[in-house]
Amino acid sequence: MNADRHNSRHYQADFPSTVRSYCKRVFQPTRGEMVSLAVRQAWKTMVTGRPGPVVLDVPFDVFMEAAAEEAPKPEEWNANISSRCGADPEGVIKTVDMLLSAERPVILVGQGVRWGGACTELLRLAERLQIPVAASASGLGAIDAHHPLALGLVARGGHYQANHAARQADVLLALGVRFDDRTSSSWIPGYSFTIPPTKLIHVDIEPEEIGRNYPVALGLMADVRTFLRELHAELDRRADLGERADARRKWLEAIDGYRKEWDKLVAPGFSDDSRPINPQRAAFEIGRGLPEDAILVSDIGVHHNWLLGYTKPRRPDSLIGSMGFGPMGFGVAGVLGAKFAAPDRPCVSVCGDGAFFMHANVLGTAVEYDLPVVWVVWNNYAYASIRGLQRGYLGGRELATDFHHPKTGERYNPDFAAMACSAGVEGVRVDRAADLAEAVRSGVAANKPYLIDVDIAADVNPAGAGVWELPGLGQSKPSIGTRYQPG
């Protein structure tokens, strides 16, 4: 076969173009002397502004070339660069005025608070002004979920006290939030938010996010931590803050009533002993089995919805997920990265059976690098998220998303515990909800790679106070409450 025929059948992948859509920037040096500059630029792009991933794609032939100079340590090169810009001083004053005059204020936090290191300042502001704090899926953990001012999740599957408070708020201070369709109940007014008449103060380091999905009463481009420090400095100059905070007692009492309604709705799921295991009970038992300093890395799938609703993160890095891109396998391998970054903390992955089977090679990697991590395989014998969409759009039918044995029709999956054992990883199977928390504790205490294969029901959906609208399928219904209509 001549070269022309050979080349016509094989194509060199344009890798930079493949990844460009979901990273901040791609660097591809084509000569050895370009590598040093590319390393510096890649690191700076990664850590400045809104932090995010970059790709440094070095072709193998360039790796083999001699560089003109030794690449500097990028963290030292960028040590004196700060992108923690503050807000317009007039905007800070106006924010304080709006918060102090509000009767039903709510703070909404996103990932910008957690990764911006602003949690201490956030907690101080909430306690100082007695303002309740709700969170997007990426913001959970910015305030301890057990704190009396923590409302929990605002979303289509959000907690009633969070959704109902946020949609009634007269002033909403949004910090590092994107207002995506999940958080905003497909942007349908009255379920997650009612903007307007709610006056929105939106603070974000990325100006493109401000006013993108909702009109703002005040939009401020700023680093969230710097902004909150400016806010506290302005509050120091104000009088009668205690009286203003006391005036919020009626609002907080109403919210406490919403919380009790939610707790009553979901209470039965915490004691459900059915088999396969009720997913709400599974999420609760997993959380109960984790040490307080654990890092829980969630993969993508229906289990993520249950973890968001029924585990209670205590720290900014207690629960890590990937919301924007939805990559199956993130939690399967990401737990290894968590352990490398925090070797003294327990690291546990909760991953679906589909994602784990795609990336089961992590077992060998964990053994090779002696990483004591725990995988909890949420085994519901399905690509359940996709199956739900198929059933909705295809009249109850599904295609290749339910796992069954071809001869018996019984639920089928590999024996994941046996698969783990074959790689030198201890593996156990859990079929009863009452055994799950202790299995998690045992996995953490083993201090070695450990897998727990858990049989979990697939046909149960989490309750929620919001809604979701899909083209052609219409709008879902909330499990509690109704659409809020401002009076």
* Cβ contacts of 114-119, under 8 Å, gap ≥ 24: 114/138, 114/139, 114/141, 114/142, 114/176, 114/316, 114/317, 115/51, 115/316, 116/176, 116/205, 116/223, 116/224, 116/225, 117/225, 118/142, 118/175, 118/176, 118/224, 118/225, 118/228, 119/143, 119/316
For the cut 80, the answer to whether the pLDDT of residue 9 exceeds it is: no
Least confident of 227-241, 242-256, 280-294, 407-421: 242-256
> What CATH architecture does domain 89-264 belong to?
3-Layer(aba) Sandwich (3.40)
Query: How far, CA to CA in Å, does 244 sit from each of 175, 191, 230, 248, 323?
Result: 22, 28, 19, 7, 37
Fold (topology level) of 3-77 = Rossmann fold (3.40.50)
pLDDT for 157: 93
Tens digits of residue pLDDT in 259-284: 999 999 999 999 999 999 999 999 99
Tens digits of residue pLDDT in 300-342: 999 999 999 999 999 999 999 987 777 899 999 999 999 999 9
Least confident of 37-41, 158-162, 297-301, 368-372: 37-41
> Would the pTM of this model clear 0.85, i.e. be above it?
yes
Mean pLDDT of the chain: 92
Strand order in the sheet with 199-204: 150-153, 133-135, 105-109, 171-175, 199-204, 218-221
Quickly state the pLDDT bin for 247 (edges 50, 70, 90): confident
CATH of domain 275-455: 3.40.50.970
For the cut 50, the answer to whether the pLDDT of residue 208 exceeds it is: yes
User: Measured between alpha carbons, how far apart are the two ends of the chain, in Å?
Assistant: 78
Q: What is the mean pLDDT of residues 139-143?
A: 96
Closest CA to 147 of 130, 168, 169, 164: 130
Percent of the chain with pLDDT over 90: 75
Transcribe 252-318 into DSSP letters: HHHHHHHHHHHHHHHGGGGS---SSBPHHHHHHHHHHHS-TT-EEEE-SSHHHHHHHHH----STTS
**89-264 and 3-77 share a CATH fold:** yes
For the cut 50, the answer to whether the pLDDT of residue 1 exceeds it is: no
- Helices 436-446 & 279-289, crossing angle to 10 degrees? 40
Quickly state the pLDDT bin for 11 (edges 50, 70, 90): low
Quickly state the pLDDT bin for 3 (edges 50, 70, 90): very low
Domains of the chain, residue spans: 3-77, 89-264, 275-455
For the cut 70, the answer to whether the pLDDT of residue 438 exceeds it is: yes
Most confidently modeled of 56-65, 234-243, 344-353, 402-411?
A: 344-353
Quickly state the pLDDT bin for 443 (edges 50, 70, 90): very high
